[in-house]
Amino acid sequence: MHDHAPTPGIRSASNRRLLTISLSLTATVMVVQIVGALWSGSLALLADAAHMFADSSALVVALVASIIAARPANDRNTYGYQRAEVFGALINGVILILLCAWIVVEAIQRLIDPSAVEVAGGVMLIVAAAGLVANAISMWLLSAAQRTSLNVRGAYLEVMGDLIGSVVVILAAGVIWLTGWMPADALASLTIAVMIVPRAVTLLREVFAVLGESSPRGTDVAEIREHLLSKPGVTAVHDVHVWQLTRGAPVFTAHVVVAAEVLSEGRTTQLLAELQTCLAEHFDVEHSTFQFETVGHVEHDAH
């Protein structure tokens, strides 16, 4: 007994369109920043460009995963391909961690020998400002979709990191331009790395929670059980399981012990509809499966 209602936002064509637009903006700014970094000699600008490159790669992964997730379910993949979004987010998180390690190594080398490279603060400032504008546009485009898609959220977090990174680079460029103090460039690079790590860890924790089939954040299993028990005809609820295929796609299963009169009076269909409606309206669970049992039923499944 189950409901296969589709989950909004998981297979959305609008999400793919937003990812495509954001990818175009990110790739364009990346090229500009690489040219600007080579011209100005700025490590911070090059680090930001490398982050843009990682974001471009991650957005490609996100876009491909979103397309795969839109494929319909079949007899082999009965839930469809929605979890492809989770694997896309996993790749995004790993890319961010590797990027941080590279930035730290390069920045330390610059701090050890600050006179090794002369940075053109003016060029650095102009290019960073252009990146700031592009990142702000990308964040605005993805802001709504990231609330319902783990995949889009990964892209959103990376673009947010780019925007903050652009601000840091602008500040460092201003210091270099006004004072000529070159270590500001390396310090800005380290700051970008420090900002990236918590976001990457948060994203990876969420991915592992989904892959580990933990209950979705904010889900109170005890409260769900109480709601189900409040329905007339329900005497007990056990073997409750709640997990999610990806962000915004929770799945619920439970064994429900019903009173004998529910079966004798043929009210099982009505009760099933009430239980599914309860989960959908109060807990945003669109896919629920119930096994009805009579009082005294002996469970034969291995535990």
Is the same domain home to 62 and 195?
Answer: yes
Domain end point (choices 190, 211, 232): 211
Indicate whether 257 belongs to any domain: yes
Is the same domain home to 271 and 154?
Answer: no
Is the same domain home to 180 and 245?
Answer: no
N- to C-terminal Cα separation, the chain: 21
Indicate whether 303 belongs to any domain: no
Domain end point (choices 169, 192, 211): 211
Instruction: Identify the band that residue 170 occupies on the pLDDT scale cut at 50, 70 and 90.
Output: very high
What's the chain's average pLDDT? 78
**What is 210-246 written as a DSSP string?**
HHTTPPPTT--HHHHHHHHHTSTTEEEEEEEEEEESS
Domain at 182, CATH number = 1.20.1510.10
- Distance, in Å, from the CA atom of 258 to the CA atom of 253, rounded to the nearest integer, reads 16
Bridge partners (DSSP) of residue 254 are 290
Angle at 130 between CA 123 and CA 157, to 5 degrees: 125
Identify which has the larger pLDDT, 247 or 189. 189
Instruction: Identify the band that residue 2 occupies on the pLDDT scale cut at 50, 70 and 90.
Output: very low
Is the same domain home to 132 and 235?
Answer: no
Chain segment 197-230, per-residue pLDDT in tens: 887 788 788 888 878 777 777 677 788 888 888 8
Domain end point (choices 211, 235, 268): 211
Q: How many domains does the chain have?
A: 2
